[in-house]
């Protein structure tokens, strides 16, 4: 049985320091994350008790030990946001996780809020460091020198679906969806085949079909089994194969179509019908196929173009889901068909919609004007700077300003997502508690909140095991009626008596 597709995106941003002696990215990321304040500061910790990154969806646990940070480091590297998201230092990158969202449009809004938060942090950090130092933050996935950092998507799924069905049903979709989800990249890396320009930032880094790791031997399907919810009912599918997108239209379609395909898998209609002969090889060849008409071999026989495979998924989504689809899902179906039609005619028609095409059009126009070739450093700079989160410097924002890209959101709409949580998931409860009872919150995780009450010396933990509860509809009035966390906990205690 399909469950509501609660979704979130986590993005690791690239970070560079210009002009300072200390170029250490860990220090810079720590400064950036700690510069940001969306509420009166207090000691809210991240609750690592709820994490199990070594659990594998195939039914075992990896031997790798993951140590939780001590309390001091926990405080330094983590921030929990009043929009219900999480902001923290992940290795050598600042990372922003959106709160849980219930539809693709809402997720675009919270993803864009992340860019605003990073830019505010960047500005404050530069003030701290002095005027000779600049911090440059890119929402991209590669340094073009063989190092990649991720933009992961998370989707709530029905636990009872066999994991192998997810692997079989989703892999061909993920391998081919890049034709409308890729962010574009000049060149190639990580020992893969040469390319002047390719569709995806990430494709060069995928080396296996299924696996637990996200850092080495990256798998197309990640098996991390960390539901952050009731593990008997839910799975959180962790999709690590995607690019970080600047275009709202691209993010919208990426998460919207993936959610629909996962629903089809939950309904049992995909199975292994599109299984590919060699997904790892195909993900790289599709990324290099700028006309999107190269052929990929299917296991059951036949060679299909990525557009044909996507169209098969679309047709199944139309057949099984259009009668029950909400307005946003209907809109996703329309736009999905629209991009496949355009890709078939000429992909460059999507130079207002899809990141890799927008970027390619821009670079080629610039190259023509200044008579450059693909190997010029300014071409690589254009590629990088397309992803700069500074609205004054970022080339994507410059195109927006000039009306050159299609948008999903209304102008300025993402600002409200910086300060207000989504209303239709448990992120509402998390964000509103942080707004109202910040001083009485000890720690937070995706599925728990720990309160430090004035009236009690022990900590009170509230679990939020269903991502679809804790909504404004369910808890709005309760929160309105409780001035302090003590009152809130008392209310819940009495409710459970």
Partner 1 sequence: MPSKERKQTYKKREEEKREERQEPEADKGAQDIKDDLDRLLDEIDEILEEDSEEFIENYIQRGGE
**Interacting residues toward partner 1 by CB under 8 A:** 12, 14-16, 18, 25, 90-93, 95, 142-145, 147-150, 152, 214-215, 240, 315, 318, 322, 330-331, 333-335, 337-338, 341, 362, 365-366, 369-370, 377-378, 380-382, 384-385, 392-393, 395, 398, 402-404
Taking the complex as a whole, the smallest distance from the CB of residue 327 to partner 1 amounts, in Å, to 12
Q: Which is nearer to partner 1, 11 or 443 (CB)?
A: 11
Specify the residue, 248 or 452, whose C-beta has the smaller distance to partner 1.
248
Q: Closest approach of Cβ 236 to partner 1, in Å?
A: 16
CB of residue 136 to partner 1, shortest distance in Å = 8
Q: How far is the CB of 159 from partner 1 (least distance, A)?
A: 25
Rounded Cα gap, residues 312 and 305, in angstroms: 11
H or E, element range at 89? strand 86-90
Whether 439 contacts 457, CB under 8 Å: no
Evaluate whether 17 touches 26 at the Cβ level (below 8 Å).
no
* Alpha-carbon distances, residue 323 vs 156, 317, 319 (angstroms): 22, 10, 8
Q: For the chain, state the CA radius of gyration.
A: 22
Give the position of tokens 């210009």. 18
Nearer to partner 1, 398 or 435 (CB): 398
According to DSSP, the residues that pair with 153 across neighbouring strands are: 9, 239
- Look up 111 and say whether it is catalytic: no
**Per DSSP, which regions of 117-176 are E strands?**
134-138, 151-158
State in angstroms the smallest separation of the CB of 143 from partner 1: 4
- Strand partners of residue 88: 78, 95
Query: Which of 81, 395 has the CB closer to partner 1?
Result: 395
Minimum CB distance to partner 1, residue 338 (Å): 5
CA distances from 427 to 16, 430, 431 (A): 31, 5, 6
Find the DSSP H helices in 267-394: 279-287, 306-321, 327-345, 355-370, 377-385
- Cβ distance 121 to 36 under 8 Å? yes
For partner 1, the closer of residues 410 and 454 by Cβ is 410
- Which listed residue (38, 47, 90, 390) is catalytic? 90
The span from the CA of 416 to the CA of 410, in Å, is 11
Residues in Cβ contact with 445 at an 8 Å cutoff, skipping those fewer than 6 apart: 46, 47, 48, 49, 50, 51, 228
Buried/exposed code over 29-47 (b: 16+ C-beta within 10 A; e: otherwise): bbbbbbbbebbeeeebbbb
Shortest reach from residue 369's CB to partner 1, in Å: 5
The answer for residues whose C-beta is within 8 angstroms of residue 471's C-beta and 6 or more apart is 423, 424, 425, 426, 428, 429
Q: Measured between alpha carbons, how far is 99 from 208 in angstroms, rounded to an integer?
A: 29
Provide the token pair at 237: 């599918």
Continuous segment of H or E residues that includes residue 304: strand 303-304
Q: How far is the CB of 449 from partner 1 (least distance, A)?
A: 27
Q: How far is the CB of 35 from partner 1 (least distance, A)?
A: 20
Burial class (CB in 10 A: 0-12, 13-18, 19+), 2: middle
If the CB atoms of residues 76 and 380 are measured against partner 1, the closer one turns out to be 380
Q: Which residues are catalytic?
A: 90
């Amino acid at each position: 049985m399909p469950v509501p597709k609660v979704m979130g995106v986590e993005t690791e941003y690239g970070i560079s320091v210009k002009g300072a002696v200390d170029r250490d990215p860990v220090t810079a990321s720590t400064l950036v994350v700690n510069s940001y304040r969306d509420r009166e500061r207090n000691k809210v910790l991240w609750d690592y008790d709820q994490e199990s990154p070594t659990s594998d969806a195939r039914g075992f646990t990896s031997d790798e030990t993951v140590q939780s940070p001590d309390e001091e480091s926990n405080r330094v590297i983590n921030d929990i946001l009043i929009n219900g998201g999480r902001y923290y230092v992940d290795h050598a990158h600042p990372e922003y996780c959106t709160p849980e969202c219930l539809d693709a449009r809402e997720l675009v809004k919270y993803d864009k809020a992340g860019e605003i938060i990073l830019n505010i942090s960047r500005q404050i950090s530069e003030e701290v460091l002095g005027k000779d130092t600049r911090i440059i933050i890119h929402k991209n996935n590669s340094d073009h020198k063989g190092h990649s950092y991720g933009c992961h998507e998370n989707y709530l799924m029905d636990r009872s679906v066999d994991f192998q069905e997810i692997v079989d049903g989703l892999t061909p979709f993920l391998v081919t969806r890049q034709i409308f989800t890729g962010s574009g990249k000049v060149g190639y890396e990580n020992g893969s085949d040469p390319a002047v320009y390719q569709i995806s930032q990430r494709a060069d880094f995928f080396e296996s079909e299924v696996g637990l790791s996200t850092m080495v031997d990256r798998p197309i399907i990640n098996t991390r089994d960390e539901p952050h919810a009731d593990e008997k009912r839910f799975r959180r599918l962790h999709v690590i194969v995607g690019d970080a997108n600047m275009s709202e239209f691209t993010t919208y379609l990426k998460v919207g179509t993936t959610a629909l395909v996962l629903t089809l898998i939950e309904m049992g209609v995909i199975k292994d019908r599109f299984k590919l002969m060699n997904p790892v090889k195909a993900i790289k060849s599709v990324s290099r196929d700028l006309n999107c008409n190269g052929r990929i071999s299917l296991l059951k026989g036949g060679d299909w173009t990525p557009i044909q495979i996507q169209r098969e998924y679309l047709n199944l989504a139309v057949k099984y889901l259009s009668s029950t689809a909400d307005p946003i899902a209907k809109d996703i179906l329309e736009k999905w068909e629209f991009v496949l039609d355009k890709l078939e005619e000429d992909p460059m028609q999507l130079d207002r919609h899809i990141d890799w095409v927008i970027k390619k059009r821009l670079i080629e126009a610039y190259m023509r004007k200044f008579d450059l070739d693909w190997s010029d450093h300014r071409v690589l700079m254009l590629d990088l700077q397309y992803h700069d989160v500074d609205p004054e410097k970022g080339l994507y924002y410059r195109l927006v300003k000039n009306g050159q890209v299609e948008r999903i959101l209304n102008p300025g709409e993402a600002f409200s997502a910086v300060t207000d949580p989504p209303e239709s998931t448990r992120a509402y409860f998390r964000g509103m508690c942080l707004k109202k009872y910040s001083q009485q919150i000890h720690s937070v995780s995706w599925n728990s909140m720990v309160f430090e009450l004035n009236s009690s010396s022990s900590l009170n933990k509230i679990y939020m095991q269903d991502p679809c509860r804790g909504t404004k509809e369910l808890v709005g009035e309760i929160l309105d009626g409780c001035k302090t966390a003590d009152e809130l906990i008392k209310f819940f205690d009495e409710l459970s008596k």
